[in-house]
Structure 1
Amino acid sequence: MSRLRASALGATWTLGTLSAVRRSAPGGERRWARTNYAGGEVSLLGGLALAAGAGAAAASVGGRPGVAGTLAAAAGGGFGALDDLVEDPAESSTKGLRGHLGALARGRVTTGGAKLLGISAASIVAAAIATRGGLRDASTRPMAVRALDVATSGALVAGTANLLNLLDLRPGRALKAAALAATPVALTNGPGAELAAGVVGSSLAALPTDLAETTMLGDTGANAVGAVLGTSLALTRSPWLRGAALAGVVALTLASERVSFSRVIARTPVLREADAWGRLERA
């Protein structure tokens, strides 16, 4: 029942926030307008609403999982909004994880680099919160093992936030991926189940306007829901499942530096059909 409550709360907050910000957008509605892949005008307010929904659902969970999920959502949404809204002339020539890391190595902090550092730091803190208090029997393990657990769990949170953002290149794609990945976790009895249920509810609530191409997630929404999804995965008790999830996230992130996800999806019939489901038909 608590999972249903988290899912319903995530959906309700997402829809309610979208309705509210459409009437009175922070900074004015035009500030949130962007041109999408097809040249149409869409609103980033969908991402703001999703971040609020995912964060509210996480906050309702309570305990350490709730605190960790809320922190992850706030950091993902906040630093994502910084990247979405702050103009950075240097950003046009700095793309991808490699580009932002390269800029940081040269002493230049882009908004993307600030987002990378901010979400990474918050993810480590969220992981430290989530893995204490008996969730992993932390008190019985050596300090080095606990530190490694926090580091890898933090990498999973930050990596999932980044991966969802990389998928947000076509309407509905990132939301479908988030809901699909969160559903198996939500069906378990683990400590991350309620967080995952909140991801499912908020993602499905944001899906109609995203597919209709009136809103988009942007970094604000994709990073926020991805961070909460990553936190739910990090709370999985099995180290093998956490390791497999982290390996998958890292592999896909590295692959994105060399190949286009959109091209791979377009060439794979099953992925192409799933990706196109519910999207507007174009002449």
Structure 2
Amino acid sequence: MSARSRGGRLLAAGAGAVTARWVLRAIGGSRYAGPLRRTNFHGRQVTLAAGPALATGAALAAAAGSPSVPAASAALVAGLGSGAVGLYDDVVGARPEQKADKGFAGHLRALSEGRVSSGLVKIAGVGAAGLAAAALLAADPTVRRHPRRTGGALARGVDVLLGAGVVAGTANLINLLDLRPGRAAKAALLVGAPLATGPAGGLVAGPLGATAAVLPADLDERVMLGDSGANALGALLGVALAARTGPRGRAGILAALVALTAASERVSFTRVIQSTPVLRELDALGRLPTEP
């Protein structure tokens, strides 16, 4: 990596951090702060303002660090789109009539009763954002092993669907990890750090900077990422993964994401982490030592 590339990615990371912190302060001092207050699993009062702050900072910085206009557009669509529908679910999903509509079965039950749950809106929105982002990447000649070089319209269509699955699947996986302070952010940093190298590394540098900026407050249990922050962060990582891989790589990543998502329906990630010493120590690193 050239010194110029390193400098550009450092600038993108700094821009992501500064933007996320600025948006977090702006929301905290606005009239929107009240509806975003929540009580976490420890009984502490936190704010979901970190979600839109992270989504905004990460998406804008990812676009600024992107190697091309289509990749920048894909980052904006995936990050801001997933963050917006995640915020909708964070706010509307907290209403009493929505609380019973949890899980995929709950969303289907609500639909059968003539209601559209906030969770179903989020699922559809993240899927649509992933599809749009993958289509934009398909128009980018800088994307690695573009199917236009090896196949026709059918191959391109399959590759777009695989890319959409990677973006939406990564968004969902990071959201599934957002059950304890700092867990989703740490996972994103661990996954994103290796992706910061190579031609598409600029897509990741900004989100990493924004994540690092909100992580201390997340660990201190002053904020939560919520669906807005976790979905946006995961979607942006998915864009970077899709930009680095061809059809086979995307298919492999998507298979792993589907397997992990299916496993989460039967096995508690928290239980697995607590029973694995290395994961348990990493999960607890930096977190408040005692419950109130």
Question: Which TM-score applies when normalising by structure 1?
Answer: 0.92
Q: 1:125 to 1:106 in 2, by over 3 A?
A: farther
Determine the structure 2 residue equivalent to 1:100: 107
Mapped to 1, the partners of 2:204 and 2:43 lie a distance apart of 33
Tell me the CA shift for residue 21 of structure 1: 1.9
Determine the structure 2 residue equivalent to 1:49: 53
Q: Does 1:37 align with 2:45?
A: no
Tell me the CA shift for residue 8 of structure 1: 1.4
Determine the structure 2 residue equivalent to 1:123: 130
Mapped to 1, the partners of 2:243 and 2:81 lie a distance apart of 18
Deviations 1:143-186 (A, max 9, x none): 11111100011011011111111110000000001111111111
Q: 1:148 to 1:103 in 2, by over 3 A?
A: farther
Determine the structure 2 residue equivalent to 1:261: 269
Q: 1:210 to 1:99 in 2, by over 3 A?
A: same
Do 2:147 and 2:246's aligned partners in 1 also have CA atoms closer than 8 Å? Answer: no
Tell me the CA shift for residue 239 of structure 1: 3.9
Structure 2 alignment gaps of length 5 or more: 1-6
Runs of 4+ in 1 over 6 A off after TM superposition: none
Letter in 1 for 2:146: D
Do 1:171 and 1:213's aligned partners in 2 also have CA atoms closer than 8 Å? Answer: yes
Q: 1:59 to 1:11 in 2, by over 3 A?
A: same
Q: Does 1:195 align with 2:199?
A: no
Deviations 1:185-211 (A, max 9, x none): 112x133x1111122111111100000
Determine the structure 2 residue equivalent to 1:9: 15
Determine the structure 2 residue equivalent to 1:167: 177
| Alignment counterpart, residue 111 of structure 1, candidates 112, 118, 121 | 118
Letter in 2 for 1:214: R
Tell me the CA shift for residue 53 of structure 1: 0.9
Mapped to 2, the partners of 1:99 and 1:89 lie a distance apart of 14
Tell me the CA shift for residue 56 of structure 1: 1.3
Q: Does 1:236 align with 2:208?
A: no
Determine the structure 2 residue equivalent to 1:212: 220
Letter in 2 for 1:282: T
Mapped to 1, the partners of 2:227 and 2:220 lie a distance apart of 19
Deviations 1:44-67 (A, max 9, x none): 011121111111112213511110
Letter in 1 for 2:119: G
Deviations 1:223-280 (A, max 9, x none): 1111111111111134443333222211111111111111111111111000000000
Letter in 2 for 1:32: L
Mapped to 2, the partners of 1:102 and 1:145 lie a distance apart of 36
| Alignment counterpart, residue 23 of structure 1, candidates 7, 22, 29 | 29
Q: Give the CA RMSD over aligned residues.
A: 1.8
SS at match of 1:170: coil
Tell me the CA shift for residue 100 of structure 1: 2.8
Structure 1 alignment gaps of length 5 or more: none
Do 1:132 and 1:138's aligned partners in 2 also have CA atoms closer than 8 Å? Answer: no
Tell me the CA shift for residue 101 of structure 1: 4.7
Tell me the CA shift for residue 107 of structure 1: 5.2
The number of residue pairs the alignment matches comes to 279
Determine the structure 1 residue equivalent to 2:281: 273
Tell me the CA shift for residue 91 of structure 1: 3.0
Question: Which TM-score applies when normalising by structure 2?
Answer: 0.90
Q: 1:98 to 1:258 in 2, by over 3 A?
A: farther
Mapped to 1, the partners of 2:204 and 2:108 lie a distance apart of 30
Determine the structure 2 residue equivalent to 1:69: 75
Tell me the CA shift for residue 131 of structure 1: 1.9
Tell me the CA shift for residue 90 of structure 1: 4.3
Q: 1:261 to 1:22 in 2, by over 3 A?
A: same
Mapped to 1, the partners of 2:11 and 2:192 lie a distance apart of 15
- Spell out the pairing of 1:166-185 with structure 2 (5 A cutoff): 166-185=176-195
